[in-house]
Amino acid sequence: IHADVATWAGAELVAGYCLRRVEEDDAGLQHRPNPEHDVTLEQLDVAAREVATALRICDPESHLLGEPGDILAGLNSIIAAEIDARLHNFREDMDAAACDEFADYVTAWVVTGYAVRVAERDLEALV
Protein backbone atom coordinates (compact mmCIF):
# COMPACT_ATOMS: atom_id res chain seq x y z
CA ILE A 1 0.00 0.00 0.00
CA HIS A 2 2.82 2.45 0.85
CA ALA A 3 4.31 2.45 -2.64
CA ASP A 4 1.01 3.60 -4.12
CA VAL A 5 0.17 6.38 -1.66
CA ALA A 6 1.97 9.15 -3.58
CA THR A 7 0.33 8.08 -6.84
CA TRP A 8 -3.05 8.08 -5.14
CA ALA A 9 -2.44 11.54 -3.69
CA GLY A 10 -1.83 12.87 -7.19
CA ALA A 11 -5.02 11.27 -8.48
CA GLU A 12 -6.99 12.69 -5.57
CA LEU A 13 -5.54 16.16 -6.10
CA VAL A 14 -6.57 16.02 -9.77
CA ALA A 15 -10.08 14.84 -8.83
CA GLY A 16 -10.62 17.84 -6.57
CA TYR A 17 -9.15 20.20 -9.17
CA CYS A 18 -11.43 18.78 -11.86
CA LEU A 19 -14.53 19.19 -9.69
CA ARG A 20 -13.74 22.90 -9.45
CA ARG A 21 -13.24 23.06 -13.23
CA VAL A 22 -16.67 21.49 -13.72
CA GLU A 23 -18.13 24.01 -11.28
CA GLU A 24 -16.54 26.84 -13.31
CA ASP A 25 -17.87 25.41 -16.57
CA ASP A 26 -21.36 25.12 -15.08
CA ALA A 27 -21.12 28.79 -14.02
CA GLY A 28 -19.96 29.79 -17.50
CA LEU A 29 -16.58 31.02 -16.28
CA GLN A 30 -13.31 30.84 -18.13
CA HIS A 31 -9.96 31.19 -16.43
CA ARG A 32 -8.01 33.99 -17.99
CA PRO A 33 -4.56 34.01 -16.44
CA ASN A 34 -2.82 37.34 -16.37
CA PRO A 35 0.71 36.83 -17.72
CA GLU A 36 1.72 40.11 -16.09
CA HIS A 37 1.09 38.65 -12.64
CA ASP A 38 4.32 37.13 -11.49
CA VAL A 39 2.85 34.43 -9.24
CA THR A 40 5.32 31.92 -7.85
CA LEU A 41 4.53 28.35 -6.93
CA GLU A 42 5.15 29.31 -3.32
CA GLN A 43 2.51 32.06 -3.50
CA LEU A 44 0.08 29.67 -5.13
CA ASP A 45 0.81 27.08 -2.43
CA VAL A 46 0.15 29.59 0.37
CA ALA A 47 -3.11 30.73 -1.23
CA ALA A 48 -4.23 27.14 -1.86
CA ARG A 49 -3.50 26.17 1.75
CA GLU A 50 -5.58 29.10 3.00
CA VAL A 51 -8.48 28.09 0.75
CA ALA A 52 -8.19 24.43 1.78
CA THR A 53 -8.28 25.43 5.45
CA ALA A 54 -11.38 27.54 4.85
CA LEU A 55 -13.04 24.69 2.97
CA ARG A 56 -12.34 22.16 5.70
CA ILE A 57 -12.72 24.25 8.83
CA CYS A 58 -14.47 27.57 8.67
CA ASP A 59 -15.91 29.22 5.56
CA PRO A 60 -16.37 27.01 2.50
CA GLU A 61 -19.18 29.05 0.94
CA SER A 62 -16.97 32.04 0.10
CA HIS A 63 -14.91 29.79 -2.21
CA LEU A 64 -17.75 27.93 -3.93
CA LEU A 65 -19.38 29.02 -7.17
CA GLY A 66 -22.35 26.70 -7.17
CA GLU A 67 -24.89 25.65 -4.61
CA PRO A 68 -22.84 24.88 -1.47
CA GLY A 69 -24.77 21.71 -0.69
CA ASP A 70 -24.21 20.37 -4.20
CA ILE A 71 -20.50 21.19 -4.27
CA LEU A 72 -19.85 19.80 -0.80
CA ALA A 73 -21.82 16.68 -1.74
CA GLY A 74 -19.65 16.38 -4.85
CA LEU A 75 -16.47 16.66 -2.80
CA ASN A 76 -17.80 14.11 -0.31
CA SER A 77 -18.76 11.75 -3.13
CA ILE A 78 -15.28 11.97 -4.67
CA ILE A 79 -13.68 11.44 -1.27
CA ALA A 80 -15.85 8.40 -0.49
CA ALA A 81 -15.20 6.88 -3.92
CA GLU A 82 -11.44 7.42 -3.57
CA ILE A 83 -11.39 5.84 -0.11
CA ASP A 84 -13.42 2.84 -1.29
CA ALA A 85 -11.26 2.41 -4.39
CA ARG A 86 -8.02 2.59 -2.44
CA LEU A 87 -8.98 0.49 0.57
CA HIS A 88 -11.08 -2.25 -0.97
CA ASN A 89 -8.14 -4.69 -0.84
CA PHE A 90 -6.64 -3.44 2.42
CA ARG A 91 -9.54 -2.58 4.73
CA GLU A 92 -9.44 -5.97 6.52
CA ASP A 93 -5.73 -5.51 7.24
CA MET A 94 -6.14 -2.06 8.81
CA ASP A 95 -7.52 -1.11 12.18
CA ALA A 96 -10.13 1.63 12.56
CA ALA A 97 -7.54 4.27 13.46
CA ALA A 98 -5.50 3.54 10.33
CA CYS A 99 -8.64 3.69 8.16
CA ASP A 100 -9.57 7.04 9.71
CA GLU A 101 -6.06 8.37 9.17
CA PHE A 102 -6.17 7.28 5.54
CA ALA A 103 -9.59 8.91 5.09
CA ASP A 104 -8.16 12.18 6.43
CA TYR A 105 -5.24 11.86 4.01
CA VAL A 106 -7.56 11.34 1.03
CA THR A 107 -9.79 14.21 2.14
CA ALA A 108 -6.83 16.55 2.43
CA TRP A 109 -5.65 15.82 -1.13
CA VAL A 110 -9.08 16.10 -2.75
CA VAL A 111 -9.77 19.39 -0.97
CA THR A 112 -6.28 20.65 -1.80
CA GLY A 113 -6.87 19.95 -5.49
CA TYR A 114 -10.07 21.97 -5.38
CA ALA A 115 -8.27 24.72 -3.46
CA VAL A 116 -5.41 24.92 -5.97
CA ARG A 117 -7.88 25.75 -8.71
CA VAL A 118 -9.59 28.38 -6.54
CA ALA A 119 -6.19 29.91 -5.76
CA GLU A 120 -5.24 29.97 -9.45
CA ARG A 121 -8.35 31.97 -10.24
CA ASP A 122 -7.98 34.25 -7.22
CA LEU A 123 -4.37 35.07 -8.13
CA GLU A 124 -5.01 35.13 -11.88
CA ALA A 125 -2.10 32.72 -11.92
CA LEU A 126 -0.35 31.36 -14.93
CA VAL A 127 1.87 28.67 -13.44
pLDDT confidence band for 92 (50 / 70 / 90)? confident
| Neighbour tally for 123: CB within 10 Å | 19
pLDDT (tens digit per residue) in 34-47? 777 788 899 999 99
The set of residues, in sequence order, having a beta carbon less than 8 Å from that of 104 and lying 6+ positions away, is: none
- Residue 31's pLDDT is 75
Q: Which of 10 and 4 is assigned the larger pLDDT?
A: 10
pTM of the complete model beyond 0.95? no
